[in-house]
Structure 1
Amino acid sequence: MNHANPSVLFVCVHNAGRSQMAAGFLRALSGGAVDVRSAGSLPAEHINPVAVEAMREVGIDIRAERPKVLTTDAVRDSDVVITMGCGDACPIFPGKRYEDWELADPAGQGLAAVRPIRDEIHTRIRALLTDLGVDPVEPTPAG
């Protein structure tokens, strides 16, 4: 790897909910110390509006994000690949760290059901930052 920062790729099927929330948390909490990517094996047309709302509640704006298709390059260029229920769609490269996070799918769920998923992702992102040796940045409350 010829880049200074560790890089993490989050993959789920639609790249509209879980992977976008995870990427949003990692971007915010790493303060730029981690290169963050997310993608889907069958990307949706739009990001899940309930995921956007759930993240807004914790001060992270992911409205501008768009679902992207998973590419082999994205996997090859990442140090850590975290899958969220995308099964065998993710190409495997030797020497990468792979984790599979079992998380409920927020698709079609209301805000009350998505909040615990968001909070679980937040907890896992903090643990990931610790593993990567990156101190989490505390988000500044807006206002």
Structure 2
Amino acid sequence: MVRWIIALIVVLVVGFFIYVNVSNKLPEGLGVTDGLLKPCSSSPNCVSTQAAPEDTVHYAEPIIYTGGRKDTQLSIESYMLNKGNARIVSSTLGYVHFEVTSHLVGYIDDVEFYLPEADSVVHFRSGSRVGHSDFGVNRERVRKIQDLLVN
């Protein structure tokens, strides 16, 4: 009986990791289209400055920065890359997309920053590819970027 339980647990754990690996595909529609990042899905594992302010689950304030656009973007890129679990997927002046992989399970979050040329503001979208809840990880990540740029 104990062997069956252990075997079942092993199968479930292996199945879970296979599910995460298969589901961690790059979503379509990322990037900036007509000045907008992709909207968050209905699940609470995404935060965006371009969600409606009354959408308290997904909305976060954009970051107003002082200094140059390029220097601000380089600060963001440096901060994210120094975390050790992020890689740049795409970067052009005014836009950068990271994949951030969780250490334990291997979930991938897509984290995008958009710095419009006409404003001194950073828009962002940070969303998990898999699952429903992220236990506030995306919102906390963005709060740390806000702290970096405001201080």
What TM-score do you get using the length of structure 1 for normalisation?
0.30
Higher relative contact order, structure no. (Cα contacts within 8 Å, ≥ 6 residues apart): 1
Q: Greater share of strand residues, 1 or 2?
A: 2
What TM-score do you get using the length of structure 2 for normalisation?
0.29
Larger radius of gyration: 2
